[in-house]
Amino acid sequence: MATVELLFSALPEHVRTARLVAAAVARRAGVDEAVLDEVRLAVGEACTRAVGLHMSHGLNSPVRVSLIEDEKKFSIEVGDDAPHRRFSLPGGTLGASASAAPSANGDGGGKGGGPGGGLVEAEGALLPGARDEIPEPVAEEDEGDGEMGLAVISGLVDDVEVTTDEHGGVIRMSWPTIEPVLP
């Protein structure tokens, strides 16, 4: 189990909280003080990206942050629930159904509440689903900061791994710890 786990609603105002918690746990775990700024920035970028993905897909689920203290390293995993369509089958039925219900709910309103609502929702989601052909959401004018965020992470962190599938993605990062910290 992770040393500390954090779930937060996918809203921009909570990213700072995740940064502060991650830096505090990293410090306690023995990550070098000189590297804490990098930890703070990297986890902020990962959480910002996850928040952006959840918002653009209309997901209500929280962003997950796991802070894991091992003997010689400190790891952070940031998980999102956004379907990454690049890995879906042609036609993308898997990804579409995964994202269908939340985005249909996000549209709100009373529509689609009739009998066989599940089927209606699934069909309705074909429209927003088409938008998902774009691999990553791109902010209106800002050079697609989701991708810039990944660029920052890979420039900062030596040990980083990004995995994605139709159910979501995880960014794993780790830093060496210098010495065990006594309680």
Partner 1 sequence: MDLSLSTRTVGDRTIVEVGGEIDVYTAPKLREQLVELVNDGSYHLVVDMEGVDFLDSTGLGVLVGGLKRVRAHEGSLRLVCNQERILKIFRITGLTKVFPIHSSVDEAVAATD
**Positions that interact with partner 1 (CB under 8 A):** 12-13, 15-16, 19, 37, 40-41, 44-45, 48, 51-52, 139, 141-143, 145, 148-149, 151-152, 155-156
Q: Cβ closer to partner 1: 5 or 37?
A: 37
Query: Smallest distance, Å, CB 53 to partner 1?
Result: 12
Q: Cβ closer to partner 1: 51 or 98?
A: 51
Query: Smallest distance, Å, CB 89 to partner 1?
Result: 32
Backbone angles phi, psi at 61, to 5 degrees: -75, 155
Instruction: For residues 27 and 17, give the distance between their C-alpha atoms in angstroms, rounded to a whole number.
Output: 15
Q: Cβ closer to partner 1: 45 or 121?
A: 45
Q: Identity (one letter) of the amino acid at 144?
A: G
Of 63, 115, 78, 122, residue with least CA distance to 98 = 122
Q: Cβ closer to partner 1: 100 or 153?
A: 153
Query: Smallest distance, Å, CB 148 to partner 1?
Result: 4
Q: Cβ closer to partner 1: 125 or 152?
A: 152
Secondary structure E strands in 25-114: 63-69, 73-80
Query: Smallest distance, Å, CB 168 to partner 1?
Result: 19
Query: Smallest distance, Å, CB 9 to partner 1?
Result: 13
Backbone angles phi, psi at 142, to 5 degrees: -105, 40
